Structure 1
Amino acid sequence: MLKVGLQLYTVREEMEADFEGTLKRVAELGYQGVEFHTFFGRSSEEVQKLLTENGLVALGTHISYDRMLTTLDEEIVYNREIGNKNLIIPYLGEEQRNWSEVFNNLKQIGAKCREQGAVLLYHNHEFELTESYGEHAVFDAMYAEVPADQLQVEMDTCWVYYGGYDPVAYIAKYAGRLPIIHLKDMKTLPDGTAKTVELGKGEVKLEAISNAANEAGVEWIVVEQDYCENPPLESIATSMEWIKNYAKNGGSVHV
Protein backbone atom coordinates (compact mmCIF):
# COMPACT_ATOMS: atom_id res chain seq x y z
CA MET A 1 0.00 0.00 0.00
CA LEU A 2 1.24 3.45 -0.91
CA LYS A 3 1.85 5.91 1.90
CA VAL A 4 1.07 9.60 1.38
CA GLY A 5 3.47 12.44 2.09
CA LEU A 6 3.69 16.16 1.40
CA GLN A 7 6.63 18.13 0.07
CA LEU A 8 6.59 21.06 2.50
CA TYR A 9 7.81 23.44 -0.20
CA THR A 10 4.12 23.59 -1.14
CA VAL A 11 3.39 25.36 2.16
CA ARG A 12 6.72 27.16 2.46
CA GLU A 13 5.32 30.54 3.51
CA GLU A 14 3.11 28.90 6.11
CA MET A 15 6.06 26.89 7.43
CA GLU A 16 8.17 30.01 7.76
CA ALA A 17 5.40 31.88 9.60
CA ASP A 18 4.23 29.00 11.80
CA PHE A 19 6.47 25.94 11.57
CA GLU A 20 4.81 24.07 14.42
CA GLY A 21 1.21 24.89 13.53
CA THR A 22 1.68 24.04 9.86
CA LEU A 23 3.12 20.60 10.62
CA LYS A 24 0.16 19.98 12.92
CA ARG A 25 -2.29 20.95 10.19
CA VAL A 26 -0.54 18.76 7.62
CA ALA A 27 -0.94 15.79 9.96
CA GLU A 28 -4.59 16.63 10.66
CA LEU A 29 -5.33 16.55 6.93
CA GLY A 30 -4.16 12.94 6.79
CA TYR A 31 -0.63 13.17 5.42
CA GLN A 32 1.54 10.47 6.97
CA GLY A 33 4.94 11.82 6.07
CA VAL A 34 6.67 15.05 5.14
CA GLU A 35 9.53 15.91 2.86
CA PHE A 36 11.51 18.90 4.03
CA HIS A 37 13.25 21.54 1.92
CA THR A 38 14.53 23.62 4.86
CA PHE A 39 14.19 23.51 8.63
CA PHE A 40 13.92 27.25 9.23
CA GLY A 41 16.64 27.22 11.88
CA ARG A 42 15.12 24.48 14.05
CA SER A 43 17.40 21.98 15.71
CA SER A 44 17.09 18.30 14.88
CA GLU A 45 15.79 17.72 18.41
CA GLU A 46 12.99 20.26 17.90
CA VAL A 47 12.03 18.79 14.55
CA GLN A 48 12.09 15.20 15.78
CA LYS A 49 9.89 16.13 18.74
CA LEU A 50 7.32 17.82 16.48
CA LEU A 51 7.25 14.85 14.13
CA THR A 52 6.63 12.47 17.00
CA GLU A 53 3.93 14.67 18.53
CA ASN A 54 2.08 14.83 15.22
CA GLY A 55 2.59 11.21 14.18
CA LEU A 56 4.53 12.21 11.09
CA VAL A 57 7.45 10.50 9.37
CA ALA A 58 10.37 12.41 7.85
CA LEU A 59 10.36 10.62 4.51
CA GLY A 60 13.03 12.73 2.82
CA THR A 61 14.84 16.05 2.66
CA HIS A 62 15.63 18.12 -0.41
CA ILE A 63 19.20 19.38 -0.08
CA SER A 64 20.92 21.60 -2.63
CA TYR A 65 23.60 20.11 -4.85
CA ASP A 66 26.12 22.61 -3.48
CA ARG A 67 25.42 21.55 0.11
CA MET A 68 25.67 17.91 -0.88
CA LEU A 69 29.15 18.67 -2.18
CA THR A 70 30.30 20.77 0.77
CA THR A 71 28.41 19.81 3.95
CA LEU A 72 27.28 16.23 3.34
CA ASP A 73 28.43 14.81 6.67
CA GLU A 74 26.51 17.51 8.54
CA GLU A 75 23.37 16.85 6.47
CA ILE A 76 23.53 13.11 7.08
CA VAL A 77 23.87 13.56 10.83
CA TYR A 78 21.00 16.05 11.09
CA ASN A 79 18.71 13.89 9.01
CA ARG A 80 19.59 10.75 10.90
CA GLU A 81 18.60 12.56 14.09
CA ILE A 82 15.12 13.32 12.72
CA GLY A 83 14.69 9.75 11.48
CA ASN A 84 15.27 10.41 7.78
CA LYS A 85 17.63 8.43 5.56
CA ASN A 86 16.62 9.86 2.15
CA LEU A 87 18.75 12.80 0.98
CA ILE A 88 17.44 14.21 -2.28
CA ILE A 89 18.99 16.60 -4.79
CA PRO A 90 16.03 18.77 -5.85
CA TYR A 91 17.27 20.83 -8.78
CA LEU A 92 20.30 21.80 -10.84
CA GLY A 93 20.67 25.29 -12.23
CA GLU A 94 21.77 25.70 -15.84
CA GLU A 95 25.29 26.58 -14.74
CA GLN A 96 25.51 23.28 -12.84
CA ARG A 97 24.52 20.98 -15.70
CA ASN A 98 27.93 19.70 -16.72
CA TRP A 99 26.50 16.23 -16.81
CA SER A 100 29.73 14.24 -16.93
CA GLU A 101 30.92 16.09 -13.82
CA VAL A 102 27.52 15.74 -12.16
CA PHE A 103 27.44 11.98 -12.71
CA ASN A 104 30.90 11.56 -11.20
CA ASN A 105 29.92 13.68 -8.21
CA LEU A 106 26.71 11.70 -7.73
CA LYS A 107 28.77 8.51 -7.53
CA GLN A 108 30.94 10.00 -4.80
CA ILE A 109 28.05 11.53 -2.86
CA GLY A 110 26.02 8.35 -3.17
CA ALA A 111 28.87 6.14 -1.97
CA LYS A 112 29.43 8.38 1.05
CA CYS A 113 25.70 8.32 1.86
CA ARG A 114 25.65 4.53 1.67
CA GLU A 115 28.66 4.25 3.97
CA GLN A 116 26.80 6.28 6.59
CA GLY A 117 23.44 4.54 6.27
CA ALA A 118 21.78 7.18 4.09
CA VAL A 119 20.35 7.00 0.58
CA LEU A 120 20.94 9.53 -2.21
CA LEU A 121 18.06 10.30 -4.56
CA TYR A 122 17.63 12.73 -7.44
CA HIS A 123 14.42 14.68 -8.11
CA ASN A 124 13.86 15.57 -11.76
CA HIS A 125 12.26 18.45 -13.59
CA GLU A 126 11.44 18.42 -17.28
CA PHE A 127 14.92 19.39 -18.52
CA GLU A 128 16.38 15.99 -17.64
CA LEU A 129 13.92 14.59 -20.20
CA THR A 130 14.37 17.24 -22.87
CA GLU A 131 18.17 17.51 -22.67
CA SER A 132 20.36 14.74 -24.07
CA TYR A 133 23.58 13.10 -22.91
CA GLY A 134 25.00 11.05 -25.72
CA GLU A 135 22.14 9.19 -27.37
CA HIS A 136 19.84 9.27 -24.36
CA ALA A 137 17.80 11.72 -22.35
CA VAL A 138 19.79 12.95 -19.35
CA PHE A 139 17.28 11.23 -17.04
CA ASP A 140 18.09 7.80 -18.48
CA ALA A 141 21.80 8.50 -18.89
CA MET A 142 22.08 9.51 -15.22
CA TYR A 143 20.69 6.24 -13.91
CA ALA A 144 22.68 4.23 -16.44
CA GLU A 145 25.92 5.94 -15.43
CA VAL A 146 25.42 5.94 -11.64
CA PRO A 147 24.82 2.54 -10.01
CA ALA A 148 21.57 1.90 -8.15
CA ASP A 149 23.39 1.39 -4.84
CA GLN A 150 24.70 4.96 -5.17
CA LEU A 151 21.60 6.70 -6.55
CA GLN A 152 17.88 6.02 -6.29
CA VAL A 153 15.06 7.72 -8.20
CA GLU A 154 12.62 10.29 -6.88
CA MET A 155 10.47 10.65 -9.97
CA ASP A 156 8.42 13.81 -10.35
CA THR A 157 5.76 12.28 -12.55
CA CYS A 158 4.28 15.63 -13.57
CA TRP A 159 7.57 16.84 -15.01
CA VAL A 160 8.05 13.51 -16.79
CA TYR A 161 4.67 14.12 -18.41
CA TYR A 162 5.49 17.75 -19.23
CA GLY A 163 8.84 16.63 -20.67
CA GLY A 164 6.95 14.59 -23.25
CA TYR A 165 7.16 11.10 -21.79
CA ASP A 166 4.67 8.64 -20.32
CA PRO A 167 4.99 8.59 -16.50
CA VAL A 168 3.36 5.15 -16.27
CA ALA A 169 5.97 3.65 -18.61
CA TYR A 170 8.77 5.43 -16.76
CA ILE A 171 7.57 4.16 -13.40
CA ALA A 172 7.61 0.60 -14.74
CA LYS A 173 11.06 1.16 -16.23
CA TYR A 174 12.54 2.19 -12.87
CA ALA A 175 10.66 -0.28 -10.66
CA GLY A 176 12.91 -1.49 -7.87
CA ARG A 177 14.88 1.74 -7.89
CA LEU A 178 11.99 4.06 -7.15
CA PRO A 179 11.04 4.42 -3.46
CA ILE A 180 9.36 7.83 -3.86
CA ILE A 181 7.36 9.59 -6.56
CA HIS A 182 5.99 13.12 -6.62
CA LEU A 183 2.32 13.16 -7.51
CA LYS A 184 1.48 16.48 -9.08
CA ASP A 185 -1.16 17.79 -11.45
CA MET A 186 -0.89 20.56 -14.03
CA LYS A 187 -2.57 22.41 -16.86
CA THR A 188 -0.77 23.41 -20.03
CA LEU A 189 -1.21 27.13 -20.65
CA PRO A 190 -1.67 28.63 -24.14
CA ASP A 191 2.01 29.63 -24.24
CA GLY A 192 3.02 26.00 -23.57
CA THR A 193 4.14 26.51 -19.98
CA ALA A 194 2.86 24.41 -17.10
CA LYS A 195 0.65 25.62 -14.28
CA THR A 196 0.55 23.35 -11.24
CA VAL A 197 -2.91 22.74 -9.78
CA GLU A 198 -4.54 20.64 -7.07
CA LEU A 199 -4.77 16.91 -7.72
CA GLY A 200 -7.67 16.13 -10.01
CA LYS A 201 -7.90 19.67 -11.39
CA GLY A 202 -5.53 19.21 -14.30
CA GLU A 203 -4.62 16.92 -17.18
CA VAL A 204 -2.19 14.42 -15.63
CA LYS A 205 -3.49 10.83 -15.42
CA LEU A 206 -3.11 10.53 -11.66
CA GLU A 207 -4.96 7.25 -11.15
CA ALA A 208 -2.88 5.44 -13.75
CA ILE A 209 0.29 6.86 -12.23
CA SER A 210 -0.72 5.86 -8.71
CA ASN A 211 -1.67 2.35 -9.83
CA ALA A 212 1.64 1.98 -11.63
CA ALA A 213 3.52 3.24 -8.56
CA ASN A 214 1.88 0.63 -6.38
CA GLU A 215 2.69 -2.13 -8.88
CA ALA A 216 6.30 -0.92 -9.04
CA GLY A 217 6.78 -1.15 -5.26
CA VAL A 218 6.90 2.59 -4.61
CA GLU A 219 6.69 3.32 -0.89
CA TRP A 220 5.65 6.99 -0.86
CA ILE A 221 3.56 9.18 -3.13
CA VAL A 222 4.41 12.76 -2.26
CA VAL A 223 2.02 15.59 -3.07
CA GLU A 224 3.69 18.75 -4.32
CA GLN A 225 2.28 21.89 -5.86
CA ASP A 226 4.98 24.34 -6.86
CA TYR A 227 2.66 27.36 -6.91
CA CYS A 228 -0.90 27.56 -5.61
CA GLU A 229 -3.57 29.97 -6.82
CA ASN A 230 -5.62 29.15 -3.73
CA PRO A 231 -4.25 29.34 -0.16
CA PRO A 232 -1.72 26.48 0.00
CA LEU A 233 -3.31 24.83 3.04
CA GLU A 234 -6.59 24.72 1.13
CA SER A 235 -4.80 23.31 -1.91
CA ILE A 236 -3.23 20.45 0.01
CA ALA A 237 -6.62 19.71 1.61
CA THR A 238 -8.17 19.51 -1.87
CA SER A 239 -5.39 17.21 -3.05
CA MET A 240 -5.89 14.96 -0.02
CA GLU A 241 -9.60 14.71 -0.87
CA TRP A 242 -8.62 13.41 -4.32
CA ILE A 243 -6.38 10.80 -2.66
CA LYS A 244 -9.16 9.73 -0.29
CA ASN A 245 -11.57 9.35 -3.22
CA TYR A 246 -8.95 7.34 -5.08
CA ALA A 247 -8.65 5.05 -2.05
CA LYS A 248 -12.45 4.66 -1.81
CA ASN A 249 -12.53 3.60 -5.45
CA GLY A 250 -10.06 0.79 -4.85
CA GLY A 251 -6.78 2.63 -5.09
CA SER A 252 -3.90 0.98 -3.25
CA VAL A 253 -3.14 3.86 -0.91
CA HIS A 254 -3.13 4.00 2.88
CA VAL A 255 -5.16 6.96 4.18
Structure 2
Amino acid sequence: MVLYQKKGRFIMKLKVGVQLFSVMTELANDYLKTLENVAKAGYKYVEYVDVPGNSPEEIGNKVKELGLTAIASHVHFDPFTSTHEDMVKIVEDNVKMHSEAIILPMGIMTTMEEIKTVAAACNEMAALAKAHGMAFYYHNHCQEFYQVEGKTAYEWLVELTDPELVFFEVDTFWATRGGQKAVELIKKLGSRAKLIHQKDMGKSADPINLIEGVTDLTRENYCEKIFGRTNPTDICTVGTGIMDIPEIVKTVTELDYAPYIIVELDCCARQTEEEYNTPLSPFASIKASREYLESVIG
Protein backbone atom coordinates (compact mmCIF):
# COMPACT_ATOMS: atom_id res chain seq x y z
CA MET A 1 0.00 0.00 0.00
CA VAL A 2 1.40 3.41 -0.99
CA LEU A 3 0.52 6.31 1.27
CA TYR A 4 1.29 9.99 1.10
CA GLN A 5 0.56 12.76 3.54
CA LYS A 6 -1.83 15.60 2.78
CA LYS A 7 -3.13 18.20 5.23
CA GLY A 8 -1.99 16.17 8.21
CA ARG A 9 -3.48 12.84 7.14
CA PHE A 10 -2.26 9.93 5.07
CA ILE A 11 -4.04 9.29 1.77
CA MET A 12 -3.85 6.08 -0.23
CA LYS A 13 -2.40 6.52 -3.71
CA LEU A 14 -4.77 5.33 -6.42
CA LYS A 15 -3.80 2.15 -8.24
CA VAL A 16 -4.70 1.63 -11.91
CA GLY A 17 -6.44 -1.58 -12.93
CA VAL A 18 -8.09 -2.83 -16.11
CA GLN A 19 -11.46 -4.43 -16.80
CA LEU A 20 -10.78 -7.32 -19.17
CA PHE A 21 -13.82 -6.42 -21.27
CA SER A 22 -11.40 -3.92 -22.85
CA VAL A 23 -9.73 -6.87 -24.61
CA MET A 24 -12.82 -9.01 -24.99
CA THR A 25 -12.07 -10.36 -28.49
CA GLU A 26 -8.58 -11.40 -27.42
CA LEU A 27 -9.95 -12.90 -24.20
CA ALA A 28 -12.46 -15.04 -26.10
CA ASN A 29 -9.70 -16.33 -28.37
CA ASP A 30 -7.20 -17.20 -25.63
CA TYR A 31 -8.02 -16.18 -22.06
CA LEU A 32 -4.73 -17.22 -20.46
CA LYS A 33 -2.55 -15.67 -23.17
CA THR A 34 -4.56 -12.46 -22.87
CA LEU A 35 -3.79 -12.33 -19.15
CA GLU A 36 -0.11 -12.60 -20.05
CA ASN A 37 -0.40 -9.72 -22.52
CA VAL A 38 -2.29 -7.58 -19.99
CA ALA A 39 0.59 -8.10 -17.57
CA LYS A 40 3.04 -7.15 -20.33
CA ALA A 41 1.02 -3.93 -20.82
CA GLY A 42 2.07 -3.02 -17.28
CA TYR A 43 -1.04 -3.96 -15.31
CA LYS A 44 -0.93 -5.57 -11.88
CA TYR A 45 -4.65 -5.30 -11.12
CA VAL A 46 -7.40 -6.88 -13.23
CA GLU A 47 -11.16 -7.14 -13.18
CA TYR A 48 -12.67 -10.29 -14.66
CA VAL A 49 -15.44 -10.57 -17.21
CA ASP A 50 -17.27 -13.83 -17.92
CA VAL A 51 -15.98 -15.66 -21.00
CA PRO A 52 -16.60 -19.37 -21.70
CA GLY A 53 -13.55 -21.60 -21.95
CA ASN A 54 -11.12 -22.01 -19.11
CA SER A 55 -12.15 -23.27 -15.69
CA PRO A 56 -12.19 -20.97 -12.65
CA GLU A 57 -9.22 -22.92 -11.26
CA GLU A 58 -7.17 -22.42 -14.44
CA ILE A 59 -7.87 -18.70 -14.47
CA GLY A 60 -7.15 -18.30 -10.78
CA ASN A 61 -3.89 -20.21 -11.07
CA LYS A 62 -2.78 -18.11 -14.06
CA VAL A 63 -3.50 -14.86 -12.24
CA LYS A 64 -1.42 -16.04 -9.29
CA GLU A 65 1.38 -17.21 -11.60
CA LEU A 66 1.54 -13.77 -13.22
CA GLY A 67 1.48 -11.95 -9.89
CA LEU A 68 -1.79 -10.21 -10.74
CA THR A 69 -4.44 -9.16 -8.24
CA ALA A 70 -8.04 -9.91 -9.22
CA ILE A 71 -9.82 -6.80 -7.94
CA ALA A 72 -13.28 -8.05 -8.81
CA SER A 73 -15.39 -9.98 -11.29
CA HIS A 74 -18.22 -8.77 -13.55
CA VAL A 75 -20.57 -11.75 -13.64
CA HIS A 76 -23.47 -13.07 -15.72
CA PHE A 77 -26.11 -12.50 -13.11
CA ASP A 78 -29.73 -11.62 -13.95
CA PRO A 79 -31.63 -10.24 -10.93
CA PHE A 80 -34.91 -11.28 -12.58
CA THR A 81 -34.09 -14.91 -13.38
CA SER A 82 -31.03 -16.04 -11.40
CA THR A 83 -31.80 -18.41 -8.55
CA HIS A 84 -30.10 -18.60 -5.16
CA GLU A 85 -28.24 -21.67 -6.43
CA ASP A 86 -27.01 -19.65 -9.43
CA MET A 87 -25.67 -17.00 -7.05
CA VAL A 88 -23.92 -19.59 -4.89
CA LYS A 89 -22.21 -21.08 -7.95
CA ILE A 90 -21.02 -17.63 -9.08
CA VAL A 91 -19.55 -16.89 -5.68
CA GLU A 92 -17.88 -20.29 -5.36
CA ASP A 93 -16.34 -19.98 -8.84
CA ASN A 94 -14.93 -16.57 -7.98
CA VAL A 95 -13.37 -17.88 -4.80
CA LYS A 96 -11.43 -20.28 -7.04
CA MET A 97 -10.46 -17.33 -9.26
CA HIS A 98 -9.12 -15.44 -6.22
CA SER A 99 -11.47 -12.54 -6.92
CA GLU A 100 -11.82 -9.92 -4.19
CA ALA A 101 -15.36 -8.91 -5.17
CA ILE A 102 -18.46 -9.71 -7.22
CA ILE A 103 -19.96 -7.02 -9.45
CA LEU A 104 -23.36 -6.81 -11.13
CA PRO A 105 -22.40 -5.04 -14.40
CA MET A 106 -25.80 -3.45 -15.03
CA GLY A 107 -29.51 -3.66 -14.37
CA ILE A 108 -32.54 -2.52 -16.32
CA MET A 109 -34.97 -0.80 -13.95
CA THR A 110 -37.82 1.22 -15.42
CA THR A 111 -40.51 0.65 -12.77
CA MET A 112 -40.51 0.62 -8.99
CA GLU A 113 -41.22 -3.11 -9.01
CA GLU A 114 -38.14 -3.72 -11.17
CA ILE A 115 -36.00 -1.51 -8.91
CA LYS A 116 -37.11 -3.48 -5.84
CA THR A 117 -36.31 -6.75 -7.61
CA VAL A 118 -32.79 -5.60 -8.49
CA ALA A 119 -32.22 -4.20 -5.00
CA ALA A 120 -33.32 -7.45 -3.34
CA ALA A 121 -31.05 -9.50 -5.63
CA CYS A 122 -28.11 -7.19 -4.87
CA ASN A 123 -28.69 -7.58 -1.14
CA GLU A 124 -28.86 -11.36 -1.47
CA MET A 125 -25.73 -11.64 -3.62
CA ALA A 126 -23.87 -9.20 -1.37
CA ALA A 127 -24.61 -11.33 1.71
CA LEU A 128 -23.34 -14.43 -0.08
CA ALA A 129 -20.21 -12.62 -1.25
CA LYS A 130 -19.45 -11.39 2.27
CA ALA A 131 -19.89 -14.90 3.67
CA HIS A 132 -17.14 -16.01 1.28
CA GLY A 133 -14.81 -13.10 2.08
CA MET A 134 -15.70 -10.93 -0.90
CA ALA A 135 -17.33 -7.53 -1.40
CA PHE A 136 -20.23 -6.78 -3.74
CA TYR A 137 -20.67 -3.82 -6.11
CA TYR A 138 -23.20 -2.51 -8.58
CA HIS A 139 -21.73 -1.02 -11.78
CA ASN A 140 -23.75 1.61 -13.61
CA HIS A 141 -24.32 2.38 -17.23
CA CYS A 142 -26.64 5.29 -18.07
CA GLN A 143 -30.16 3.83 -18.08
CA GLU A 144 -30.14 3.74 -14.26
CA PHE A 145 -30.54 7.53 -14.31
CA TYR A 146 -34.00 7.31 -15.83
CA GLN A 147 -36.61 8.88 -13.55
CA VAL A 148 -38.98 6.55 -11.74
CA GLU A 149 -41.50 8.00 -9.29
CA GLY A 150 -39.62 11.20 -8.60
CA LYS A 151 -36.07 9.85 -8.36
CA THR A 152 -33.61 8.16 -10.66
CA ALA A 153 -33.63 4.36 -10.57
CA TYR A 154 -30.03 4.63 -9.34
CA GLU A 155 -31.05 6.79 -6.37
CA TRP A 156 -33.72 4.27 -5.46
CA LEU A 157 -31.20 1.43 -5.75
CA VAL A 158 -28.79 3.21 -3.38
CA GLU A 159 -31.64 3.79 -0.94
CA LEU A 160 -33.04 0.24 -1.08
CA THR A 161 -29.77 -1.68 -0.76
CA ASP A 162 -27.91 -2.46 2.47
CA PRO A 163 -25.23 0.23 2.96
CA GLU A 164 -23.08 -2.25 4.88
CA LEU A 165 -23.12 -4.82 2.08
CA VAL A 166 -23.78 -3.18 -1.30
CA PHE A 167 -21.19 -0.80 -2.72
CA PHE A 168 -20.96 1.00 -6.05
CA GLU A 169 -18.46 0.93 -8.88
CA VAL A 170 -18.98 4.32 -10.51
CA ASP A 171 -18.48 4.33 -14.27
CA THR A 172 -17.80 8.02 -14.78
CA PHE A 173 -18.35 7.92 -18.56
CA TRP A 174 -21.75 6.24 -18.37
CA ALA A 175 -22.82 8.40 -15.45
CA THR A 176 -22.03 11.45 -17.60
CA ARG A 177 -24.09 9.98 -20.42
CA GLY A 178 -26.92 9.60 -17.93
CA GLY A 179 -26.92 13.35 -17.34
CA GLN A 180 -24.90 13.19 -14.13
CA LYS A 181 -21.82 15.10 -13.01
CA ALA A 182 -19.47 12.23 -12.22
CA VAL A 183 -17.55 13.97 -9.45
CA GLU A 184 -20.78 15.02 -7.73
CA LEU A 185 -22.13 11.48 -7.92
CA ILE A 186 -18.93 10.11 -6.40
CA LYS A 187 -19.12 12.68 -3.59
CA LYS A 188 -22.78 11.89 -2.93
CA LEU A 189 -22.12 8.15 -2.69
CA GLY A 190 -19.23 8.79 -0.29
CA SER A 191 -17.87 5.64 1.30
CA ARG A 192 -20.11 3.44 -0.85
CA ALA A 193 -18.20 4.44 -4.03
CA LYS A 194 -15.24 2.12 -3.55
CA LEU A 195 -14.33 1.43 -7.20
CA ILE A 196 -14.11 3.77 -10.19
CA HIS A 197 -14.33 2.86 -13.88
CA GLN A 198 -12.63 5.20 -16.30
CA LYS A 199 -12.83 5.55 -20.05
CA ASP A 200 -12.84 8.75 -22.09
CA MET A 201 -15.43 10.37 -24.32
CA GLY A 202 -14.72 11.14 -27.96
CA LYS A 203 -15.26 14.70 -29.16
CA SER A 204 -17.92 13.56 -31.64
CA ALA A 205 -20.20 11.98 -28.99
CA ASP A 206 -23.68 13.41 -29.53
CA PRO A 207 -25.87 13.61 -27.61
CA ILE A 208 -23.80 13.37 -24.45
CA ASN A 209 -26.89 12.91 -22.27
CA LEU A 210 -28.61 9.80 -23.59
CA ILE A 211 -31.45 9.94 -21.05
CA GLU A 212 -32.69 13.45 -21.74
CA GLY A 213 -35.98 13.39 -23.63
CA VAL A 214 -36.43 9.62 -23.30
CA THR A 215 -39.94 8.60 -22.26
CA ASP A 216 -41.73 5.30 -21.79
CA LEU A 217 -38.51 3.38 -21.23
CA THR A 218 -39.00 -0.36 -20.72
CA ARG A 219 -36.84 -3.44 -20.28
CA GLU A 220 -37.78 -4.35 -23.85
CA ASN A 221 -36.94 -1.07 -25.61
CA TYR A 222 -33.99 0.34 -23.61
CA CYS A 223 -31.37 -0.77 -26.16
CA GLU A 224 -33.17 0.97 -29.01
CA LYS A 225 -34.05 4.12 -27.07
CA ILE A 226 -30.69 4.63 -25.37
CA PHE A 227 -27.78 2.55 -26.64
CA GLY A 228 -29.04 2.69 -30.21
CA ARG A 229 -27.87 6.31 -30.29
CA THR A 230 -24.24 5.53 -29.46
CA ASN A 231 -21.27 5.02 -31.78
CA PRO A 232 -17.97 3.14 -31.29
CA THR A 233 -16.05 6.42 -31.46
CA ASP A 234 -17.97 7.74 -28.44
CA ILE A 235 -15.42 5.87 -26.30
CA CYS A 236 -11.70 6.53 -26.66
CA THR A 237 -8.42 5.86 -24.91
CA VAL A 238 -8.20 7.56 -21.52
CA GLY A 239 -6.58 10.97 -21.84
CA THR A 240 -7.52 11.56 -25.48
CA GLY A 241 -11.13 12.69 -25.09
CA ILE A 242 -13.17 15.45 -23.48
CA MET A 243 -13.70 14.14 -19.95
CA ASP A 244 -12.04 16.01 -17.08
CA ILE A 245 -9.98 13.07 -15.88
CA PRO A 246 -7.72 15.13 -13.58
CA GLU A 247 -10.77 16.40 -11.68
CA ILE A 248 -12.11 12.86 -11.28
CA VAL A 249 -8.74 11.60 -10.03
CA LYS A 250 -8.45 14.57 -7.66
CA THR A 251 -11.93 13.95 -6.22
CA VAL A 252 -11.45 10.22 -5.77
CA THR A 253 -8.03 10.73 -4.19
CA GLU A 254 -9.21 13.37 -1.73
CA LEU A 255 -12.25 11.33 -0.67
CA ASP A 256 -9.91 8.35 -0.17
CA TYR A 257 -12.58 5.65 -0.30
CA ALA A 258 -11.65 3.93 -3.60
CA PRO A 259 -8.23 2.25 -3.85
CA TYR A 260 -8.53 1.56 -7.61
CA ILE A 261 -9.37 3.44 -10.77
CA ILE A 262 -10.05 0.89 -13.50
CA VAL A 263 -9.62 1.32 -17.25
CA GLU A 264 -12.55 -0.03 -19.26
CA LEU A 265 -12.66 0.58 -23.00
CA ASP A 266 -15.94 -1.11 -23.83
CA CYS A 267 -16.98 -0.73 -27.49
CA CYS A 268 -13.82 1.23 -28.09
CA ALA A 269 -12.83 2.18 -31.64
CA ARG A 270 -9.24 1.87 -30.35
CA GLN A 271 -8.50 5.31 -31.74
CA THR A 272 -6.67 8.16 -30.07
CA GLU A 273 -6.11 11.74 -31.13
CA GLU A 274 -4.23 13.21 -34.08
CA GLU A 275 -0.75 12.44 -32.72
CA TYR A 276 -1.31 8.77 -33.56
CA ASN A 277 -1.14 7.89 -37.23
CA THR A 278 -3.03 4.62 -36.84
CA PRO A 279 -5.61 3.25 -34.43
CA LEU A 280 -4.02 1.64 -31.42
CA SER A 281 -4.36 -2.06 -30.83
CA PRO A 282 -6.44 -3.09 -27.80
CA PHE A 283 -3.31 -3.75 -25.75
CA ALA A 284 -1.72 -0.47 -26.85
CA SER A 285 -4.96 1.32 -25.92
CA ILE A 286 -5.06 -0.05 -22.39
CA LYS A 287 -1.32 0.60 -21.99
CA ALA A 288 -1.70 4.24 -23.10
CA SER A 289 -4.68 4.63 -20.77
CA ARG A 290 -2.68 3.27 -17.82
CA GLU A 291 0.26 5.53 -18.55
CA TYR A 292 -1.98 8.60 -18.77
CA LEU A 293 -3.80 7.82 -15.52
CA GLU A 294 -0.54 7.17 -13.70
CA SER A 295 0.81 10.49 -14.96
CA VAL A 296 -2.26 12.26 -13.57
CA ILE A 297 -2.11 10.39 -10.26
CA GLY A 298 1.59 11.31 -9.97
2:82 matched to 1:69? yes
2:65 matched to 1:53? yes
Residue type at the aligned position of 2:138: Y
Pairwise CA RMSD of aligned residues?
Answer: 2.2
What is the match of residue 191 of structure 2?
Answer: 176
Aligned partner of residue 153 in structure 1, secondary structure: strand
**Which one of 122, 127, 134 corresponds to residue 118 of structure 1?**
134
- Report percent identity of matched pairs: 28
Quick check: 1:99–1:133 contact (8 Å CA) kept in 2?
no
**Which one of 147, 164, 170 corresponds to residue 155 of structure 1?**
170
Quick check: 2:72–2:101 contact (8 Å CA) kept in 1?
yes
Separation (CA, whole Å) in 1 of partners of 2:291 and 2:205: 28
Aligned partner of residue 202 in structure 2, secondary structure: strand
Aligned partner of residue 78 in structure 2, secondary structure: helix
Quick check: 1:4–1:220 contact (8 Å CA) kept in 2?
yes
Residue type at the aligned position of 1:10: S
Quick check: 1:69–1:109 contact (8 Å CA) kept in 2?
no
Q: In 2 relative to 1, CA 127–95 (structure 1 residues): closer, same or farther, beyond 3 Å?
A: closer
Instruction: Name structure 2 gaps, 5 residues minimum.
Output: 1-12, 208-228, 271-280
Separation (CA, whole Å) in 1 of partners of 2:164 and 2:61: 31
Shift of residue 10, structure 1, vs aligned partner: 0.8
What whole-Å deviation, never above 9, does each CA across 1:81-139 have from its counterpart, x for those lacking one?
2221311111234789811222222222223333333322110011112x123322111
Shift of residue 74, structure 1, vs aligned partner: 1.0
2:26 matched to 1:38? no
Q: In 2 relative to 1, CA 188–113 (structure 1 residues): closer, same or farther, beyond 3 Å?
A: same
- State how 1:185-224 maps to structure 2 within 5 Å: 185-187=200-202, 189=204, 191-192=206-207, 193-194=229-230, 195-216=234-255, 217-224=257-264
Separation (CA, whole Å) in 2 of partners of 1:222 and 1:58: 12
Separation (CA, whole Å) in 2 of partners of 1:2 and 1:244: 9
Separation (CA, whole Å) in 1 of partners of 2:205 and 2:57: 47
Residue type at the aligned position of 2:172: T
Separation (CA, whole Å) in 2 of partners of 1:188 and 1:105: 37
Shift of residue 20, structure 1, vs aligned partner: 2.0
Quick check: 2:109–2:144 contact (8 Å CA) kept in 1?
no
**Which one of 144, 169, 184 corresponds to residue 128 of structure 1?**
144
Q: In 2 relative to 1, CA 146–13 (structure 1 residues): closer, same or farther, beyond 3 Å?
A: same
Separation (CA, whole Å) in 2 of partners of 1:77 and 1:65: 14
Q: In 2 relative to 1, CA 93–164 (structure 1 residues): closer, same or farther, beyond 3 Å?
A: closer
Separation (CA, whole Å) in 1 of partners of 2:175 and 2:110: 22
Separation (CA, whole Å) in 2 of partners of 1:56 and 1:85: 12
Q: TM-score with structure 1 length normalisation?
A: 0.88
2:279 matched to 1:239? no
2:98 matched to 1:98? no
Shift of residue 209, structure 1, vs aligned partner: 0.6
**Which range is displaced more, 232-241 or 183-192?**
183-192
Q: In 2 relative to 1, CA 117–133 (structure 1 residues): closer, same or farther, beyond 3 Å?
A: farther
What whole-Å deviation, never above 9, does each CA across 1:160-189 have from its counterpart, x for those lacking one?
112121111111112211221101111253
What whole-Å deviation, never above 9, does each CA across 1:52-101 have from its counterpart, x for those lacking one?
22111111111123288331111111111222131111123478981122
Q: In 2 relative to 1, CA 244–78 (structure 1 residues): closer, same or farther, beyond 3 Å?
A: same
What whole-Å deviation, never above 9, does each CA across 1:186-243 have from its counterpart, x for those lacking one?
1253642551000111111111111211222211111001122232112112212212
Q: TM-score with structure 2 length normalisation?
A: 0.76
Quick check: 1:91–1:124 contact (8 Å CA) kept in 2?
yes
